[in-house]
Structure 1
Amino acid sequence: MPSTNPKTYEPTAPRKVAFLGLGVMGFPMAGHLALAGHDVTVYNRSAAKAQAWTGEFKGRSAPTPREAASGCDIVFCCVGNDDDLRTVVLGEQGAFAGMKPGTIFVDHTTASANVARELSEVAKGKGLQFVDAPVSGGQAGAQNGMLTVMCGGDAKAFETARPVAMAFSRAFTLLGPSGAGQLAKMVNQICIAGLVQGLSEGIAFGMRAGLDMEQVLEVIGKGAAQSWQMDNRGKTMIAGKFDFGFAVDWMRKDLGLVLDEAKRNGARLPVTALVDQFYADVQEMGGKRWDTSSLIKRIR
């Protein structure tokens, strides 16, 4: 979290909440909940990370998801993948085992639409509510409390969770039933993959042509070619700096979810499939943890 927190929190009644998963996204997201005045209990697979969080924010930690979720109104979660999600949700020590009837589970993991539907059904059987709510905005968005959140699930559960989740969001939107949030995140990643490849090719072409690409981007960034990626990654792509941001490994995981879903629904994604293989090339170059804008490394 930045030393000076610029976020202005919407007034809302304090809630007893849990946050499961304190990675680069979850740590600041849980922090914003605490700063907004909510009663926060955190859980992380590595207890040291949970201890670091309680050292920085007002709140407590619990040794299991079940204990973290006990007595809460809303349980938030942000872990790595489908299997991680099932691990913290299901089983004797999972969050569902500790949640009282009516509690809402809000999952910010970028996972499959299938696991969202699966866990939603399990939740209903236990008298709980489940909202799939993957995020966009990256680590900076999490730190600044300005994430865009795409939700699927019951409208009433969504409306209850929304004012609390706005502690770390700039937009928190219901897009349909269970799974819709995850599907919308897939659309987001499809768009980003193609855009970053196009930006990479444009910058590489301009540099080969001998253009001052910082000047070129400044000019074309005022026209139809403008994008978040151009504004925030163009200069670093020119400079060959990639030791920050959304990692290539994470993008490949997300694109794997996209391509699996496309096999199920029959969508044709030729560019996305190609860019996924380009990211595989970047991994082979040692760029597993480089920012996704490192696609340009393949062609420079």
Structure 2
Amino acid sequence: MAGSTLASRALGRLLAHHRKQAGLTVYAAAQLVETSQQTMGRVEDGLKAKVPQLWIHALADAYGVGDDDRRIMIGLAQELAQAQKNWWRAYADEMNPKFDHLLGLEQAARRLSIWRSALVPGLFQTPEYRRSIAWTESPEMAPEQVEKRVEMALRRQTRLHDAGFAVDVLLSECVLRDRIGGAAVMGGQLRRLAELTELPNTTIRVVPFDTSAHLGSLVGSFTLLEFPKLPATGMTEPPVIYVEGYAGDLYLEREPEVRRYRDAFGEIGRVALDGDTTRQLMLSLAKEYGE
């Protein structure tokens, strides 16, 4: 399941590269395999779950692709064909298509570097915290819909216990003090965060209010996703920056953009508290919320 997302991105990237080398448009490529321009665009964007091998051969012939690259693309297509259905498809009615893409990337990633200026990251949210967010976003939402979103969030969090997966999180102190759901909910959420710091693959550090000016105030919340090598080909997909917005999400992949965000994460981390001090702060605030 993890490999399928990376395989589709790698295959799409190779097809787009060879198409451009051949001087053909997306529309022309679509005509070669008798599909729509929109479908071919999804293939090149890495968003299509299955790509027939007949398409690969037809496109490779038209693009003048060498034997080595043809074998790589066929291998990626085979990897896609063998992939299992992703678990979050059962929750498709509760998410937008771009979030579906994020879950695929998240499941495939080997490492996440997360900066949050507001709200606890979804991977770390307690059911009560997630429920409070859902009611705030859509007060008219039916209770069964809310519970389905909570269930999806809990399924997503099983990734934290996967071998070969690591998460490095930086949180503004604002995240700890914004009383989402009230004092009791926040107290439970902070205790949960403190527990998660004990996982060997998870680090959580807080940027306190009284620190000097830092880039976190300017760049806004984001996630850097980094990926392992594909088992079939040994290829490594480039990292992705995910920027979540109220009106829509952004996925940034160009190397200069990724580098700027990676550097920003490093700069923000320089003014963050260490792990032990962060844990004590979270437990202290949790105790205050319980009083």
The alignment's TM-score, normalised by the length of structure 2, stands at: 0.26
Rg (Cα) greater in structure? 2
- The answer to which structure has the higher helix fraction is 2
The alignment's TM-score, normalised by the length of structure 1, stands at: 0.25
